[in-house]
Amino acid sequence: MIPTSHYLFLSLGLFTIGVIGVVTRRNVIIILMSIELMLNAVNINLVAFSRLVGSAEGHVFAFS
């Protein structure tokens, strides 16, 4: 059983990389890709907390 904090560390790392990509790159397509990375990090957070709480509502949030 992996603790939830590890998922949060992973999500924070991916989000930080996405923020750095948005701020520092000049190419618009790479900025969009960095935004996609940030959205995925948030989805990892939602699913990890959904696993912690024990309901599937985080999955619905991540899906919609």
Binding site for other proteins (CB under 8 A): 1-2, 4-10, 12-21, 23-27, 29-30, 32-34, 36-37, 40, 43-44, 47-48, 50-57, 59-60, 62-64
In whole angstroms, how close is the CB of 45 to other proteins at the nearest point?
11
Nearest to 51 by CA among 8, 14, 21, 22: 8
Phi-psi region of 54 (alpha: psi -120 to 50; beta: other; left: phi over 0): left
CB of residue 21 to other proteins, shortest distance in Å: 4
What is the three-class DSSP state of 55?
A: coil
**Nearest-approach distance from CB 36 to other proteins, in angstroms:** 7
